[in-house]
Amino acid sequence: AEAAPWWTTAVVYQVYPRSFADSNGDGIGDLGGVRGKLDYLAELGVDAIWLSPVYPSPQHDNGYDIRDYQDIDPVFGSLAEFDLLLAEAHERGIKIVMDLVVNHTSDEHPWFVESRSSIDNPKRDWYWWRQPGAAGAEPNGWGSAFSGPAWTLDETTGEYYLHLFAKQQPDLNWENPEVRQAVYTMMNWWLDRGVDGFRMDVINFIAKQVELVSGPAAATDGGSPMGAQIHDYLQEMHRAVFAGRTGEHLTVGEMPGVSIDDAVLFTDAARGEVDMIFQFEHVSLDQGTHKFDPLPRSLVPLKRSLARWQDGLAATGWNSLYLNNHDQPRLVSRFGNDASWRYESATLWALVLHLHRGTPYIYQGEEIGMTNVKFDSIEHYRDIESLNHYREAVEQFDQSPASVLAGVHAMGRDNARTPMQWDGSANAGFSTGTPWLAVNPNYPAINAAADQASARSVFAFYQRLIALRHNDEVVALGAFELIEPDHEQLYAFTRSLNGQTLLVLANVSDEPLTVQGAWLPDDISGAELLLGNYPGDGAAALRPWEARLYRL
């Protein structure tokens, strides 16, 4: 049999550079800051960094609106600084995976500046321009993910352009082969420079069915506007960029709204598309009518969803595993109890997630149990999605400011974007200046220095999980089986390979849980406790938010 790819035993750490570490005191994290923390990441043990965008950008969406794909924004550093970061990461055995944002550019990208200048400009067709629809309306009914319509009328030529996100993020027209070639050339330029792969932003949106879909559906709400050509584009990209290369690379496609059947096609190695995808099913279960309208959470649908993806990609393809990132609330606040059981619930979810089959992603601050933030006024928020939503909900839909703010508290992206809490000094040691987004006021208690000094260190727990994935082939490759799928408190499953079995038992609640039932394997009494988040080798009852990993 062929050796399993390197990323089956790897753990990836996401750095959101703006909020990670500021090396020059301007209040914004930067590449120098990341370099300064490489030893911290090496100590944690991660194999790769996924670096959120650092390219020149007007920063309407914190760098997901790119003005130049082949440079570094001065706010983050320079290409020379980037090369230094890459070399110093590689010295420590850490790979660097870049964010690739090619569904759209910034409206300040020269391609778009040219494209909008006239109807017969050679770059006109690089974007989605359409005549007004009936009665001068938008060409179709798609809504933007950041409120309002997905089409904006451009006065210069009297046509609309498409933007699935902010109006400053016009969508590239991938049906134009020149666009595709320009992207592949750019990707090759970064790989030749030494980067180790790409996390591809909303990559399933590059193929769309603009003419087929009409009606008032929001293109990015729940579903996806994905067109059938997506597989052709990804295969073409693979041939043009990765096929001829040796060495270890990673491609992970962010794909809101795709099904398990789609995912099998995207990640089947034989098809040459991407190594793995980020799917959204498990982070959409608690959404009501829209993202800022959270539903009560319950365990059964969550674990059943993740188990379906485990089963669906067991024979072909590969999962990526995440419970939070720069777009999602903090996992300990969303799925755990960040008030009374912060250490226990943060480590429970760490153990549960990292023991699934797939490549785990840690989002900065997760490894020290950072929590959501509740600023008392919208003034303190910076995220374009939250700000647009707030304005629309309050001004257009007449909702009460307090209720809209409550939605932002629960689901807003700035929960994940408050600066990394390094220590108990001013601004949590993130910056000597004024941070671009305020630090979470809980930083004197929750910070990396305090966590690492504690006997109950979340960081130390993650270190052990990462070591397990590196060293235990059952963790990396074992078959997954969910136990007691309808139990509302217990998250239990086994992983098995070559006659070895691991058992995970987790009590997802504030109450003790007696461990018994026909589902419990007979040999648990003599089983070795490999890892747990309580001292001692196991009471008969699982304590609140207790998680245990046994080797049977």
List, by residue number, the catalytic residues.
201, 254
Rounded Cα distance, 470 and 306, in Å: 22
- In the block, which residue shows the tokens 């070795």? 528
Q: Using CB distances below 5 to 8 A depending on partner kind, what does residue 199 bind out of ligand TEU, Ca ion, none?
A: none
Query: Least distance (Å) from ligand TEU to the CB of residue 405?
Result: 17
Site for Ca ion in 25-44 (CB under 5 A): 26, 28, 30
Q: Using CB distances below 5 to 8 A depending on partner kind, what does residue 26 bind out of ligand TEU, Ca ion, none?
A: Ca ion
Closer residue to ligand TEU, CB minimum distance, 415 or 447: 415
* 411 bridge partner residues: none
Q: How many CB atoms lie within 10 A of CB 522?
A: 7
Rounded Cα distance, 457 and 450, in Å: 8
Rounded Cα distance, 67 and 55, in Å: 7
What is the separation of C-alpha 460 from the centre of its chain, rounded to a whole number of angstroms? 22
Closer residue to ligand TEU, CB minimum distance, 256 or 538: 256
Query: Least distance (Å) from ligand TEU to the CB of residue 290?
Result: 9
Query: Least distance (Å) from Ca ion to the CB of residue 379?
Result: 23
Where on the chain is the footprint of ligand TEU (CB under 6 A)? 61, 64, 101, 145, 165, 201-202, 220, 254, 256, 291, 326-327, 385
Q: Using CB distances below 5 to 8 A depending on partner kind, what does residue 291 bind out of Ca ion, ligand TEU, none?
A: ligand TEU
Closest residue to ligand TEU using C-beta atoms: 64
Rounded Cα distance, 254 and 328, in Å: 14
DSSP sequence for 356-409: SSSEEEEETTGGGT------SSGGG---HHHHHHHHIIIIIS---HHHHHHHHH
Applying CB under 5 A, which part among 24-32, 37-45, 173-181, 368-376 lies near Ca ion?
24-32
Query: Least distance (Å) from Ca ion to the CB of residue 24?
Result: 4
Closer residue to ligand TEU, CB minimum distance, 76 or 491: 76
Rounded Cα distance, 335 and 344, in Å: 12
* 14 bridge partner residues: 50, 363
Closer residue to ligand TEU, CB minimum distance, 254 or 546: 254
Closer residue to Ca ion, CB minimum distance, 40 or 534: 40
Closest CA relative to residue 422, chosen from 33, 13, 90, 3: 33
Q: Using CB distances below 5 to 8 A depending on partner kind, what does residue 538 bind out of ligand TEU, Ca ion, none?
A: none
Closest CA relative to residue 347, chosen from 460, 475, 501: 460
Q: Using CB distances below 5 to 8 A depending on partner kind, what does residue 451 bind out of Ca ion, ligand TEU, none?
A: none
22 binds Ca ion (CB under 5 A): yes
